Amino acid sequence: MDIKSLEDRFNEKIDKDIRIEPKDWMPENYRKTLIRQISQHAHSEIVGMLPEANWITRAPSLRRKAAALAKVQDEAGHGLYLYSACETLGIERDQLLQDLHSGKAKYSSIFNYPTLTWADMGAIGWLVDGAAIMNQVPLCRASYGPYARAMVRVCKEESFHQRQGFEIMLTLCRGSEEQKKMAQDALNRWWWPSLMMFGPQDKDSTHTEQSMRWGIKRFTNDELRQKFVDVSKPQADLLGITIPDKDLKWNEERGHYDFGEINWEEFFNVIKGNGPCNKQRVDARRNAYDNGAWVREAAAAHAEKKAKKQQAA
């Protein structure tokens, strides 16, 4: 079949909302865009394990430790689904990891901020996992089959993360003065970086238009950010803590909250690798990879041995 008919068939599937599967023909740019987006997402899952792993041993009770441990394990699982989905596009996992370690591939800017107190575990679950859900629920309808299917399970687990985070915040806010202060301090530090998670403003987002046309993205960055602000404000009110934005107020006409200007200079600076923890995060991933070399070698040797045995039988 000539390229024109292949393209027509692909576009027809996109228009009819029929999923694209690994063996289907796809434009090279569609493949590249998906590899970039899915790998970025996979990297964010495994880098996202780091700030929270920091608190597993210091969580205030056995129940909190168990929940933190389970959550960090979930994130490892999300990374696994997403690396697997990405591999169906014809790229090796080793290559993806090399790109993370060399700084060529990006991951979510949010994980370059430090987790200073226990309340940060609450704020991260509530806001960061909350923002992730906002971003990811529409991806369950993404046009690429393996990505969309991976997202279904990821989203179920994210919604549990969000609720356990909110519950930590609620417990702190109903506790002593000091605990409530900790919750407020965590909100102060995590609010703006959470808004940045939705990416640059639509006018500065280079990939949005094409990705929307391909059904890889269903809403723009600004639309999702607005949705997030709209659901978070009443939640902050319920907690009795204040979102650190003096311009945040209900706009009757728009039917949405207005909010203040994001510090984009900070955002682009963190993306470029100059956030408070960028170096620490990438170093931790590199060390984990190097220290795990013997496991990969042992697994490969075991698989080879097993294959030989089967051949002999």
Site residues, Fe ion (CB under 5 A): 45, 75, 78, 129, 158, 161
- DSSP letter (8 states) at residue 140: G
Q: How far is the CB of 299 from Fe ion (least distance, A)?
A: 24
Q: How far is the CB of 136 from Fe ion (least distance, A)?
A: 8
Residue nearer to Fe ion on the CB measure, 41 or 180: 41
The separation between CA 114 and the C-alpha centre of its own chain, rounded to angstroms, equals 17
Q: How far is the CB of 127 from Fe ion (least distance, A)?
A: 11
Q: What is the CA radius of gyration of the chain?
A: 21
Residue nearer to Fe ion on the CB measure, 78 or 285: 78
256 strand-pairing partners: 251
- On whether the CB atoms of residues 236 and 139 are closer than 8 A, the answer is no
Q: How far is the CB of 93 from Fe ion (least distance, A)?
A: 18
Q: How far is the CB of 132 from Fe ion (least distance, A)?
A: 6
| 125 Cβ contact partners less than 8 Å away, ≥ 6 residues apart | 71, 161, 162, 163, 164, 165, 166, 168
CA distance 268 to 79: 24
CA distance 307 to 39: 30
Residue nearer to Fe ion on the CB measure, 78 or 217: 78
Residue nearer to Fe ion on the CB measure, 39 or 257: 39
Residue nearer to Fe ion on the CB measure, 45 or 99: 45
CA distance 186 to 169: 9
If you write DSSP's letter for every residue of 222-278 in order, what string do you get? HHHHHHHHHHHHHHHHHHT---S-TT-EEETTTTEEE-----HHHHHHIIIIISTTH
Residue nearer to Fe ion on the CB measure, 75 or 87: 75
Q: How far is the CB of 110 from Fe ion (least distance, A)?
A: 11
